[in-house]
Structure 1
Amino acid sequence: MFNPSLKLALLATTASLILVACGGGSTSSPGSAGPVTINPTTPTDPTPNANLVDLVPGDDCQAGTTRETTDVTVNGAVVGQVEACTITGVITSNLTLEAKNGYALEGAVFVGEDGSSNATLTIPAGTTIFGETGEDYLVITRGSRINARGTATDPIIMTSIQDVQGSVDAVNDRGLWGGLVINGDAPINRCIDGTATPGTAGCERSGEGSSGLYGGGNSAHNAGTLEYLQVKYAGNLINDSDELNGIAFQGVGSGTTCNHIQVHNNTDDGVEFFGGNVFCSELVLTGNGDDSLDWTDGWKGGAQRVLIIHTEGAGDQGIEADNRSSNNGATPISDPTISNFTFVGNDGDIGILAREGTQGQIVNGIIVDFPDAGIDVDNDLTLSNLQAGTLSFASIFLDNPTNILSGDSSETVDTRAIIAGSPNIVEGNSSLTDRFFPGSNEQAVPATDVSMEPGFMTYNYIGAFSDTETADSNWAQGWTFSVFESPTECPSGTLSTGDVVGGKQICSLTGTITQNTRLNNNFIYQLEGAVFIGEDQGGDPAAPIAGANPAILTIDAGTTLYGAAGEDYLVISRGSQIRSNGTRNNPVIMTSRDEVFGTADTANDRGKWGGLVINGRAPINRCIDGTATPGTTGCERSGEGSSGLYGGGTTDDNSGNLFYTRVSFAGNLINDSDELNGIAFQAVGSATQVDYVQVHNNVDDGVEFFGGNVNVKHLVLTGIGDDSLDWTDGWTGNVQYVIIDQANGVGDQGIEADNRSSNNDVLPRSNPTLSNLTFVGGDGGDIGILLREGTAGDIYNAVITDFDEAGFDIDNSATIAQATAGTIAFNSVLIAGNAEDLRNDGDGATPQQTALNNGANNQIGGAVTDFGARPVGGDRYAPGAPEQAVTATNVNAVDSFFDPVTYIGAVENENDDWYQGWTLLVDQ
C-alpha cells in the first residue's frame, strides 16, 4: 500500500487548491551510461527536522537503490528535507520497487540498454517517484518495459520533490523535474539515417533530452503497462527545440497497455506521441504549459475518453496534430482516432490544431472556451486530407468565440464549410455542469460509432463523461489530482458569508460581476441587492460600449440561489449570458431565503425576493428615445426595477440558456407600474435556449416577454399572482408545452398579450406562435387567454378550462383587426368549463369566433377534464377522453422549432411525466 506519511504529505498540498479553468529536436543516444550506481557512503539518520518527510519508514532500501536525505529548496531557501530510496544510472536487470518506500530519480535513469541488456521496472500501486531538478527523468529503452499498475484508490505518482515535501504551488509550478520517456521499436516516419526507409526496422531516431533511440518495424511492440498514473510538475526545457514532455511515447507499439493517466502542469506538452501505434484511454491532461496532447512522426494509435483542462496564464493547443514538419507527406502518415473527449480552454489558443499533413478521425467531442478557435486546420496537405475525408470530424459540440477558423488568407479550402457540414457538428451554448459533465445541449448531439477501431469501446455519448456520471461518481474520480473542485472554498466571484445551511456553506453575490463566474453545487448562494452579470454592452454587438465588461454566469445542476428581500434580484446585462444548467434530477433553484431555511409557505408565499431579469439585444418596438426607429439597433428601453437597458437589432442574440430551472416566491412590487416578474425576457434573442422552466408563486407575472425573439419549451407556471404568461413590445418567439395552473384566490389572466399600449399598430408587431397548452384556472383568475393592444399570434393544440370570467377574449380595435386579417388564428383548441368560454363583453364574441374560424379542429364548450380535481403530481395534466377526441394539428409543419405532435394540451398521456420531479407542484 501507499506509504501513509507520503500520502498525508501529498494530500496536504492539495487540500486547499483548485485547478483554475483552469516537440522536435534530435539529440544523441545515451551512449555508455553505466549500471545503477549505489552511493558508497553509509547513510546516516538525519538530524531531527520538523520539515523532514521520511519515505523510508523501515530504513531498508532494496538492492539497486540507496537511502538518501535531500534538502528541498524553494526560491533558493531550504524549506525541508525528504528521505527516499535513490535510483540513478542504468538499470540492467529487473527491478521491482516497494510501495512502502518513496523513490528519488538522480539524473537520467535508464531502464535497460538499447540493443543489449533489457530490463523491466515494476512499480506497484501507491508508489511515489520524484525528481529534484529538470535533469532527473526516467527513460524506458527499446526492448525494456515498465509495469506501472496503480489502482483507482492507490495511483502511482511521479512528481517533484517539492510536491512530496508539501511546498509546491499546485497551480503555477511547472518544470520541477524531467518526466517519463518510453522508447519502442514501432514504426515512425522520421529517420536519423537519411537513407533508411520510414516505417521499417532501419528507421530510428534520437529522442528529446538525450533519451535514446526509438523506432523500428514492430507495430505490436509492447513497452509494458501504465495504469492509474499521475505525472506532475515535470518538463525540462533543455533548449528551444529540445524539451521533455510529461510522458513521451516514442515509437511505442500497440502491445503496450495505457489507461487512466494524468499529466498535470508539465512545462511542455502533457503527452506526445512520436509515431508508433499505442492506444491510450482515460487520459486527464490538466494545466500543461504547451499543448496538452501532441502527435507527430506517423502516430497511428488512438485515444478514448480524454479530459483536457487549460489553466489561466498557461497552455497552447488542446491537441496539436502533425504528420512531419519537414515532409508533410512522409509515410507512415499520422492517422489516429480520437473519441470521447472534453476540452476546456482558458488562456490556451486552439482546441484542436491539425497541420503538417496529419490525417485522423476526431469524433464524439466537446470543445469549449478556447479564445482563438475550437478547430483549425493548417497547411495545404492537411487541408487536402480534410477535403478527401482522410482527416475527419464528427459528433462534436463547440462553444468558443470562434468555433471553426476559416483558414489563412492564402488558403483556398473553406475549412469552416467542410467541418461545420460534417455529421453532427453543433455550435451552441455549453450546458456542461460541474465543468465537464454533459448537459442538455451536449446530450442532444448523436454519437459516432467507433467500435470498429482497435481498442475502442462503444459509448453512446459525446464527451469524456456520460450524462449518468457526476462529480462524485465518474471514471476520473479518486485517482486524479486537482480535477474536481474544493467543497470548502467559495467560487471566484463570490464571498463566504460564514453561514451554513443543510451542511452547505453560503456564498454571496453582490454588485456587478465582470468576470466569468461559475456556481457549483457544493454551496448555496445568496443574492445581496441587485446583482448584475456584466456591464451593459449596448445594443450593437458589432460596436460594444468601450470599457464595458461582459461576463458569463454558469450555474451547475443542483445549485440553489436565493434572495432575502424584494431588492435582491439577478440581472443579466446586454452582451452577457446566464447558463443555468439544471437537470431533471438536479434542477437549478432560484428561490427565497425562507425556502432555503425551511420556513416557506409553499402555497401562499409570494414576493419574498426579486426574480430574474435577462436583457438582450433583439428588436423591440418601444424606444426610450422617441426619435429611434423601432426594431433597430438604436431602439432600447429601460427595464422594470432599475434592471438596465435592453433592445437592439440582433434577432439571434444569445443571452445563454435556462435548462431545468425553477424560480419560486419572487416578484417585487416596486410601485403600481414597476414590478418584477418571475423571469423577465427583455429583448432576448432566438439563440438563447430556454427549456424546462418553472415559475411558482410570483407576486406579479410569471414570465413576461418584452419584445425579442426568444423561444421556449416546457414551461410550468403555477400559483402566479398576476398574469401567468405575458408579452408586449413586439415579441415574435415560439413556445411549446406550457402548463398554467392558477391558485385559488389569486391570479389574473393565463395569457395577457399586447403589442404596445401607446401605439397598438407599431412594428415589429408582437406575433408569437404557441402550441400544446394546458391552462387550468382558479376561483380568483380572470381569463384564460386575453389578446389586446394590437397583438397578433397563433395558438395550437390547447386546452383552456376553469377560468372565472372567460376562456378567451380579444380586446381593442387593433387586435380585432388582426383577427379579421387572419393574423390571429386558433387550431385544435378546446375551450370549455369556463364561466364563459368566449367572452361576450362590449365587443361581443365575434372577434374570438373569427380567430377560431381562421383555424380548424376547435371545440367550444362541452365536456372537459376536471384537471383541478386531480391530485398534484401523478397524471394531473394528462388528457382525458374529451381532449383525446380533439384532432391535433402538426405545428411542426408550420415551424421546425416545434416537435411533431398528435395530441392537444401540454401532456400527451398518463405516461408523459416531463413536468414531474424537477418542479414544485402544490395544491392551492
Structure 2
Amino acid sequence: MYRLLATTAAVAAFAACNDENDATGPDRTLPEEGHKLAVLTSVTQDRTLYADTTYVLSGFVKVSNGATLTIQPGTKIVGDTLVPGSSLWILRGSKLIAEGTAENPIVFTSARAEGHRAPGDWGGIVIVGNAPINRTANPIFTEGPAGAAENYAGGNDIDDDSGSLRYVRIEFAGYDVSNGAGQELNGISLYAVGRGTTLEYIQTVQGLDDSFEWFGGAADARYLVSFESGDDHFDWTEGFQGRVQFALAVQTSVPTPRPGTGVVSGDPRGFEGDGCEVDKAGCTYANAPYSMPVFANFTLIGPGPDVYATNDGNGAVIRRGSGGTFVNGIVARWPGVGFSVRDEASGALMDVDSLLFRNIILAENGSNFEAPAPGRFGDRLRTNAAAWNISEARLADVFVGRLPTGSTEITDANLGVQPRPGSPAATGGLTSFAGTPIAARVENFFGGPMPATPYVGAVSPDGPPWYRGWTRWYRN
C-alpha cells in the first residue's frame, strides 16, 4: 500500500495546476509514459520508492522516527515548484538508502519541464546525523524556516550512519528561507553526519546556493561533481572532519535563479572552509574538533574572466580556524585567487602541518597566489612551492581539451577535464602518503587506506572518466 502515496485528488492537482492551468505546461510535468505519479508525504516507518513511479516532494518532507527510506535505481523524485523550498529531510536516527547505478541513477530534480527549470525550483536534500560538531550551544538548528528547522547539537558518534547515497543527481535545488539573512537550503546539506554514512557518485546541477555543505560531522565521500553553483561548490564549517577523494567542480556562468527563491553569490568559490563562524552561538575559532577535512584529487574549474566582477570568485578560501589537507589537486581559471588562506587562526595551522598543501597545480587564475597582506597567508604556497610541489601551468598544457564556457553545450565527451598526455597533471601526483602526515589522516577510507595516485586532479588520464554516463550538464 505504500506505493499509493497520495489521494487521486492530490495527484490530479499536481498534474493540472500551473500558470496556464495546462498539465503539459512549463510549471508541471507529467511522468514518463507508463509511470505513475505519487505525492510523497512524511515517512515515519520503513518504505520503498519504486522506479515505475515519479514522486513529488511537496513541502518539507521528513523521514523520522528511526525509519529507513529506500529508493530503487532509476527512480525520479521532483520538487513541487509551487510550494517554496520543497525538500527531503532525513532526521537523526533515520536513514536514506538511495543506491542507483551508472546506468540508472536516482534523480532529484525540478517539477518543471526541461528548458524551463532554474536554480531554486525546489529545496534540496537535508541529512541530520549524530556525529560531533564544534559548536557548544544546545539547541542548534539547521538552516530552514521556523517550524521546519531541526536541532543537530550534541552528537557524539563519529561513526553514525545516516544511510547510503550512490549514483544520485540533485538538480535545480536550493532555497533562501530567510530573505537574504544567510539561511539557505543547499543541493545537499550534511549536518553532523557520521562516517558510517556512504556518499559516492553524487552530482549537483545548477544549485541556488552551495552544492555540497558539511556542518561538522565526519562523513567521507568520493566521486562528487558540482556543476554551476550559485555560491560555493564544496563548503564546510563547524568542525568537519571528513575525507573526500575525486571531487570535480565546474563553473562556466552565473546561474539564473527562479524569481522569488533567492539570489546567487557574486563571489562563488570552489572550496570555502570555515572552522567556526563566531557570529553563531557557541562558536569560537578555538572550539574542538577543528575543521580538518582531507581533499585529495580535486579539480576546481572556474568561469574565467568577464563572468563575475574582477577578482571575485576564488578557487579556494580557507579561513576562520579551518585546517585541512589538500593534495593532488588542480585549481584553474578562477577570476580571483587560486588559494586564499585568511585569518591568523588558519594561518597558524600551516606552521604545524594542520593546514597542509601538497602537489597542487594552479592554472590561469586571476592570481594563482595570494598577495601578502594583513590577515592573508596564501602567499606561503608561493614561498614553499618547491617543498610542497605547488606549480603554475597553462590551461592548454594541463587538460586534454578546451574547457567549456557558458555558451558551450556540455557533454561528457567535450568536458575536457582529463589531463593531457605528458601534462604536469598526468604524472605530477604524490604517489605515496607513507612517511607524511597525510598517512594517518586517510586510514579506513571506504574499507582501506585512501589510495595515492600518480596523477593530479579528479580524473585519471587513462580510460573513460568516472563521471561518464550518469552525470548531466543541464543549463535549464
Q: Post-superposition shift, 1:853?
A: 3.3
Residue 827 of structure 1 is aligned with which of 358, 362, 365?
358
Residue 124 of structure 2 is aligned with which of 601, 606, 611?
611
Q: Secondary structure at the match of 2:177?
A: strand
Work out the number of aligned pairs and report it. 406
Q: Post-superposition shift, 1:760?
A: 1.5
Q: Secondary structure at the match of 2:345?
A: helix
Q: Post-superposition shift, 1:517?
A: 1.1
> Which whole-Å CA distance do the structure 1 matches of 2:345 and 2:376 have between them?
16
> Which whole-Å CA distance do the structure 2 matches of 1:646 and 1:912 have between them?
40
Report runs of 4+ in structure 1 exceeding 6 Å deviation: none
Q: For the Cα contact (< 8 Å) 1:730–1:756, is it kept in 2?
A: yes
Q: Does 1:920 align with 2:450?
A: no
Greater shift in the superposed pair: 864-873 or 802-811: 864-873
Q: For the Cα contact (< 8 Å) 2:130–2:158, is it kept in 1?
A: yes
Residue 526 of structure 1 is aligned with which of 42, 56, 60?
56
The aligned residue for residue 563 of structure 1 is 79
Q: Post-superposition shift, 1:845?
A: 6.5
RMSD: 2.3
Aligned-partner residue type, residue 295 of structure 2: L
1:680-699 deviation line (CA, Å, top 9, x unaligned): 00000000000100111111
> Which whole-Å CA distance do the structure 1 matches of 2:47 and 2:6 have between them?
8
The aligned residue for residue 637 of structure 1 is 140
> Which whole-Å CA distance do the structure 2 matches of 1:859 and 1:850 have between them?
7
Q: Post-superposition shift, 1:712?
A: 0.3
1:230-273 deviation line (CA, Å, top 9, x unaligned): xxxxxxxxxxxxxxxxxxxxxxxxxxxxxxxxxxxxxxxxxxxx
Q: Summarize the Cα distance change of 1:907–1:568 in structure 2 as closer, same or farther, 3 Å threshold.
A: same
Q: Post-superposition shift, 1:724?
A: 0.7
> Which whole-Å CA distance do the structure 2 matches of 1:882 and 1:744 have between them?
27
Q: Does 1:588 align with 2:106?
A: yes
Aligned-partner residue type, residue 235 of structure 2: D
Q: Does 1:860 align with 2:373?
A: no
TM-score norm. by structure 1 comes to: 0.42
Q: For the Cα contact (< 8 Å) 2:360–2:456, is it kept in 1?
A: yes
Q: Post-superposition shift, 1:843?
A: 3.4
Q: For the Cα contact (< 8 Å) 1:655–1:688, is it kept in 2?
A: yes
Q: Summarize the Cα distance change of 1:607–1:495 in structure 2 as closer, same or farther, 3 Å threshold.
A: same
Percent identity, please.
30
Q: Summarize the Cα distance change of 1:851–1:839 in structure 2 as closer, same or farther, 3 Å threshold.
A: closer
Q: Does 1:869 align with 2:400?
A: no
The aligned residue for residue 292 of structure 2 is 767
Q: Summarize the Cα distance change of 1:527–1:809 in structure 2 as closer, same or farther, 3 Å threshold.
A: same
1:759-808 deviation line (CA, Å, top 9, x unaligned): 11211110011100011001336111100000010001000000001101
Q: For the Cα contact (< 8 Å) 1:653–1:688, is it kept in 2?
A: yes
The aligned residue for residue 442 of structure 1 is none
> Which whole-Å CA distance do the structure 2 matches of 1:845 and 1:572 have between them?
38
* Structure-to-structure mapping, 1:302-451, within 5 angstroms: none
The aligned residue for residue 281 of structure 2 is none
Q: Summarize the Cα distance change of 1:776–1:868 in structure 2 as closer, same or farther, 3 Å threshold.
A: farther
Q: Post-superposition shift, 1:617?
A: 0.3
Q: Summarize the Cα distance change of 1:841–1:517 in structure 2 as closer, same or farther, 3 Å threshold.
A: farther
> Which whole-Å CA distance do the structure 1 matches of 2:362 and 2:119 have between them?
29
> Which whole-Å CA distance do the structure 1 matches of 2:7 and 2:189 have between them?
27
1:491-537 deviation line (CA, Å, top 9, x unaligned): 16555514552221211112x31111100101000011000101xxx
1:652-698 deviation line (CA, Å, top 9, x unaligned): 00000110011010100112221001100000000000010011111
Residue 550 of structure 1 is aligned with which of 48, 66, 75?
66
Larger Cα-atom Rg: 1
Q: For the Cα contact (< 8 Å) 1:618–1:652, is it kept in 2?
A: yes
Q: Secondary structure at the match of 1:766?
A: coil
Q: Post-superposition shift, 1:820?
A: 2.2
Q: Secondary structure at the match of 1:719?
A: strand
1:307-355 deviation line (CA, Å, top 9, x unaligned): xxxxxxxxxxxxxxxxxxxxxxxxxxxxxxxxxxxxxxxxxxxxxxxxx
The aligned residue for residue 3 of structure 2 is 491
Greater shift in the superposed pair: 857-866 or 812-821: 857-866
Q: For the Cα contact (< 8 Å) 2:361–2:393, is it kept in 1?
A: no
The aligned residue for residue 430 of structure 2 is 888
Aligned-partner residue type, residue 598 of structure 1: E
The aligned residue for residue 207 of structure 2 is 698
Q: Post-superposition shift, 1:888?
A: 2.7
> Which whole-Å CA distance do the structure 1 matches of 2:475 and 2:87 have between them?
27
Q: Summarize the Cα distance change of 1:853–1:777 in structure 2 as closer, same or farther, 3 Å threshold.
A: same
The aligned residue for residue 904 of structure 1 is 456
1:611-655 deviation line (CA, Å, top 9, x unaligned): 000000000111433xxxxxxxxxx52101133121400100000
Structure 1: unaligned runs, 5 residues or longer? 1-488, 535-548, 626-635
> Which whole-Å CA distance do the structure 2 matches of 1:857 and 1:668 have between them?
40
Q: Does 1:514 align with 2:60?
A: no
Q: Post-superposition shift, 1:923?
A: 7.0
The aligned residue for residue 649 of structure 1 is 156
* Structure-to-structure mapping, 1:450-489, within 5 angstroms: none
Aligned-partner residue type, residue 391 of structure 2: I
Residue 31 of structure 2 is aligned with which of 471, 479, 501?
501
Q: Does 1:662 align with 2:192?
A: no
Q: Summarize the Cα distance change of 1:832–1:573 in structure 2 as closer, same or farther, 3 Å threshold.
A: same
Q: Summarize the Cα distance change of 1:889–1:573 in structure 2 as closer, same or farther, 3 Å threshold.
A: same
Aligned-partner residue type, residue 465 of structure 2: D
The aligned residue for residue 754 of structure 1 is 274
Q: Post-superposition shift, 1:889?
A: 3.6
Q: For the Cα contact (< 8 Å) 2:200–2:222, is it kept in 1?
A: yes
> Which whole-Å CA distance do the structure 2 matches of 1:599 and 1:923 have between them?
8
1:252-309 deviation line (CA, Å, top 9, x unaligned): xxxxxxxxxxxxxxxxxxxxxxxxxxxxxxxxxxxxxxxxxxxxxxxxxxxxxxxxxx
Q: Does 1:574 align with 2:92?
A: yes
Q: For the Cα contact (< 8 Å) 1:827–1:858, is it kept in 2?
A: yes
Q: Post-superposition shift, 1:886?
A: 2.1
1:538-566 deviation line (CA, Å, top 9, x unaligned): xxxxxxxxxxx221010110001111233
> Which whole-Å CA distance do the structure 2 matches of 1:914 and 1:554 have between them?
25
Aligned-partner residue type, residue 678 of structure 1: G
Q: Does 1:813 align with 2:335?
A: no
The aligned residue for residue 879 of structure 1 is 419
The aligned residue for residue 440 of structure 1 is none
Q: Summarize the Cα distance change of 1:922–1:523 in structure 2 as closer, same or farther, 3 Å threshold.
A: closer
> Which whole-Å CA distance do the structure 2 matches of 1:494 and 1:765 have between them?
45
Structure 2: unaligned runs, 5 residues or longer? 16-29, 256-264, 279-283, 405-409
TM-score norm. by structure 2 comes to: 0.80
The aligned residue for residue 150 of structure 1 is none
Aligned-partner residue type, residue 872 of structure 1: T
Q: Does 1:687 align with 2:196?
A: yes
Q: Summarize the Cα distance change of 1:826–1:666 in structure 2 as closer, same or farther, 3 Å threshold.
A: same
* Structure-to-structure mapping, 1:137-152, within 5 angstroms: none
Q: Post-superposition shift, 1:721?
A: 0.5
Q: Post-superposition shift, 1:883?
A: 1.6
Q: Secondary structure at the match of 2:249?
A: strand
1:209-229 deviation line (CA, Å, top 9, x unaligned): xxxxxxxxxxxxxxxxxxxxx
Q: For the Cα contact (< 8 Å) 2:428–2:454, is it kept in 1?
A: no
Q: For the Cα contact (< 8 Å) 2:302–2:335, is it kept in 1?
A: yes
Q: For the Cα contact (< 8 Å) 1:819–1:851, is it kept in 2?
A: no
Q: Post-superposition shift, 1:862?
A: 3.0
The aligned residue for residue 622 of structure 1 is 135
* Structure-to-structure mapping, 1:83-98, within 5 angstroms: none
Aligned-partner residue type, residue 809 of structure 1: S
Q: Does 1:802 align with 2:315?
A: no
Aligned-partner residue type, residue 94 of structure 2: S
1:568-595 deviation line (CA, Å, top 9, x unaligned): 101000000000011100001011101x
Greater shift in the superposed pair: 744-753 or 580-589: 744-753
Aligned-partner residue type, residue 518 of structure 1: T
